[in-house]
Amino acid sequence: APIPAPDLKSCSRATITNGPEVPYSCCPSIPEDLDKVPYYKFPSMTKLRIRPPAHAVDEEYIAKYNLATSRMRELDKDPKDPRGFKQQANVHCAYCNGAYKIDGKELQVHESWLFFPFHRWYLYFYERILGSLIDDPTFALPYWNWDNPKGMRLPPMFDVPGSSIYDARRNPHVRCGTIIDLGSYGNETKTTELQTMTNNLTHMYRQMITNAPCPLLFFGKPYRLGTAPKPGAGTIENIPHTPVHIWTGTVLGSKLENGDTSFGENMGNFYSAGLDPVFYCHHGNVDRMWNEWKQIGGKRRDLTDKDWLNSEFFFYDENRNPWRVRVRDCLDSKKMGYDYAPMPTPWRNFKP
Ligand code: C2O
pLDDT tens sequence across 117-160: 999 999 999 999 999 999 999 999 999 999 999 999 999 999 99
- pLDDT tier at 100, thresholds 50, 70, 90: very high
Question: DSSP string covering 237-306, please?
Answer: IIIIIHHHHHHHSPPTTSB-TTSPBPSSTTTTSHHHHTTSTHHHHHHHHHHHHHHHHHHH-TT------H
- pLDDT tier at 178, thresholds 50, 70, 90: very high
pLDDT at 232 over 80: yes
In 6-50, where does DSSP find H-type helix?
none
Q: How far apart are CA 285 and CA 291, in angstroms?
A: 10
pLDDT at 297 over 80: yes
Q: Which of 183, 164, 120 is CA-nearest to residue 278?
A: 164
User: What pLDDT, on a 0 to 100 scale, did the predictor assign at position 186?
Assistant: 87
pLDDT at 9 over 80: yes
pLDDT at 310 over 80: yes
- Write the ipTM: 0.99
Work out which ligand 1 atom sits closest to the CA atom of 115.
1
Question: DSSP string covering 43-90, please?
Answer: PP-SS-EEEPBGGG--HHHHHHHHHHHHHHHHGGGSTT-TTSHHHHHH
Q: Does the beta carbon of 241 lie inside 6 Å of ligand 1?
A: yes
pLDDT at 306 over 80: yes
Which residue spans within 52-204 are E strands per DSSP?
A: 101-102, 105-106
Q: pLDDT digit string (tens) for 22-37?
A: 999 999 999 999 989 9
Quick check: is 173 catalytic?
Answer: no
Side chain identity, residue 145: N
Q: How far apart are CA 318 and CA 314, in angstroms?
A: 14
* Annotated catalytic residue, options 245, 279, 282, 315: 245
Chain-wide mean pLDDT for the chain? 96
User: What pLDDT, on a 0 to 100 scale, did the predictor assign at position 91?
Assistant: 98
User: What pLDDT, on a 0 to 100 scale, did the predictor assign at position 176?
Assistant: 86
To the question of whether residue 119 is assigned a binding role by annotation, the answer is yes
Q: How far apart are CA 178 and CA 159, in angstroms?
A: 12
Quick check: is 110 catalytic?
Answer: yes
Query: Is the CB of residue 165 less than 8 Å from the CB of residue 65?
Result: yes
SS3 8: helix
To the question of whether residue 245 is assigned a binding role by annotation, the answer is yes
- pLDDT tier at 351, thresholds 50, 70, 90: confident
Quick check: is 282 catalytic?
Answer: no
Q: pLDDT digit string (tens) for 47-85?
A: 999 999 999 999 999 999 999 999 999 999 999 999 999
For residue 157, report the distance from its CA to the centre of ligand 1, in Å.
Answer: 21
Q: Does the beta carbon of 11 lie inside 6 Å of ligand 1?
A: no
- pLDDT tier at 45, thresholds 50, 70, 90: confident
Whether the bond between 266 and the residue before it is cis, its omega within 30 degrees of 0, is yes
Q: Which of 296, 351, 348, 346 is CA-nearest to residue 152?
A: 346
For residue 280, report the distance from its CA to the centre of ligand 1, in Å.
Answer: 9
Q: pLDDT digit string (tens) for 209-221?
A: 999 999 999 999 9
Q: pLDDT digit string (tens) for 247-273?
A: 999 999 999 999 999 999 999 999 999
Other beta carbons within 10 Å of 194: 10
Q: How far apart are CA 221 and CA 219, in angstroms?
A: 7
- Tell if the pTM clears 0.90, that is, is over it: yes
For residue 270, report the distance from its CA to the centre of ligand 1, in Å.
Answer: 7
For residue 93, report the distance from its CA to the centre of ligand 1, in Å.
Answer: 10
Q: How far apart are CA 5 and CA 91, in angstroms?
A: 13
pLDDT at 237 over 80: yes
User: What pLDDT, on a 0 to 100 scale, did the predictor assign at position 190?
Assistant: 82
User: What pLDDT, on a 0 to 100 scale, did the predictor assign at position 352?
Assistant: 80
Quick check: is 119 catalytic?
Answer: yes
Query: Is the CB of residue 277 less than 8 Å from the CB of residue 165?
Result: yes
∠ CA 121-127-130, nearest 5°, is 145
